[in-house]
Amino acid sequence: MSKILVTGAGGCIGAWVVKHLLDRGDEVTALDKSPERHRLESILDADALDRVRFIEGDVADLDGVRSAVETHGRDGVIHLAGMQVPSCRANPILGARVNVLGTLAILEAAAEVGCRVVYASSAAVFGPDDEPTRPHTESEAGDTRSHYGVFKLANEGNARIQFQDRGVSSVGLRPLTVYGVGRDFGMTSGPTTALKAAVLGRPYEIGFTGPTDFQLVEDVAAVFVRCLAAPEGAHVFNVHGETATVEDVVAMIDDVLEAAGLGDRRGLVTCTGPHLPIPGALDDSALAAAIGAPPRTPLRDGLARTLRAFATLHADGRLDLRDLPQEANA
């Protein structure tokens, strides 16, 4: 049984990472600044939740991080705590404190304890490209259009130096459009919120269009866990799921609704707005070479699975509706 510390464990990817670690029998400590548990409660039963040790803490607090890593992260830290694109845009100073200094605190503590770190970078380290559906390799990143992307690039650099200077092994993963149960906030959360709205029979407009790399959260979380056993070094890997346009996904949601006997809801989900300033296809062959073929649920199956999960949560009166527009929420 390994002792693994998960930061940002109350978040979307974090909740699924906790689930995968519990499923393989690990001793899991969840560190998050928020006491919010709705994502964990959506996917874990009460017995599983009881097996998680919770610490409320800020990753930018070096002393707190040191103590948590030393006591609970002996066999590894999966570091997911962070502020997303809109929050970093609204408050870049706080964004830098949490995303950059917080990650450096984890890397410092890992050097002292001698454990490895798997941390969330992001596909936002890439900039726009004229060929968005050509698979992009890791080295094509750099022309990011957000403070958030700059912070993630800084983290990748700091992880590289921490291996060079102090021997800390790490893997930085770059997800793009993560979807599935628990995805309820961030620049690319619209497709998941649309599925939730469709379950309720309410209209929803996704706020971006064009190609992107859709990745089911369960698959992404499984990759984070498997990277705990990656070869030594300071690695940075793209994550790939299935490339499709948001327009394609709107059509797939209609098909999935039809197949679920909810054909009267066709047309409720629409999309509008700009393309993402990030290529829509990421090459994950370096990741596959390091850990073996990553899980890759076909997009249509992932959308259908998410719809079914939301329908079940709704039937149980447990579907969190806070990401839906207020008027639809009334």
Ligand X SMILES: NC(=O)c1ccc[n+]([C@@H]2O[C@H](COP(=O)([O-])OP(=O)(O)OC[C@H]3O[C@@H](n4cnc5c(N)ncnc54)[C@H](O)[C@@H]3O)[C@@H](O)[C@H]2O)c1
- For ligand X, the binding residues (CB under 6 A) are 7-8, 10-14, 32-34, 58-60, 80-84, 98, 102, 120, 122, 175, 177-178, 185-186, 188
Nearer to ligand X, 32 or 219 (CB): 32
In angstroms, what is the minimal distance from the CB of 324 to ligand X?
16
Nearest to ligand X of 221, 268 (CB atom): 221
- Name the residue among 254, 43, 294 with its Cα closest to residue 171: 294
Closest approach of ligand X to the CB of residue 111, in Å? 20
CB of 237 to ligand X, least distance (A): 12
Please give the helix or strand (H or E) that residue 225 lies within, else none. helix 217-226
Shortest Å distance, C-beta 293 to ligand X:
21
CA 71 to chain centre: 25
CB of 217 to ligand X, least distance (A): 7
Q: Report the nearest approach of ligand X to the CB of residue 325 (Å).
A: 19
- Other CB atoms within 10 Å distance of the CB of residue 321: 14
Whichever of 257 and 282 has its CB closer to ligand X, that residue is 282
Comparing CB distances to ligand X, the nearer of 185 and 208 is: 185
| Length of the chain in terms of residues written | 330
Rounded to a whole number of angstroms, the CA Rg of the chain reads 19
Nearer to ligand X, 100 or 168 (CB): 100
Can you tell me the distance from the alpha carbon of 267 to that of 273, in angstroms, rounded to the nearest whole number? 17
Residue 289, judged by CB atoms within 10 A of its CB (0-12, 13-18, 19+), counts as exposed
Residue identified by tokens 């726009």 is 128
Q: Smallest distance from the beta carbon of 264 to ligand X, in angstroms?
A: 30
CA distance 17 to 34: 17
Question: How is residue 274 written in tokens?
Answer: 């700009």
When CB distances to ligand X are compared, the closest residue is 11
Residue closer to ligand X by CB (options 157, 203) is: 157
At 268, list the tokens.
Answer: 């409720």
Q: Are 217 and 16 in contact (CB under 8 A)?
A: yes
Short-list 100, 16, 11, CA closest to 309? 16
Residue 46 structure tokens: 């009460």
Measured from the CB atom, the residue of 243 and 268 that comes closer to ligand X is 243
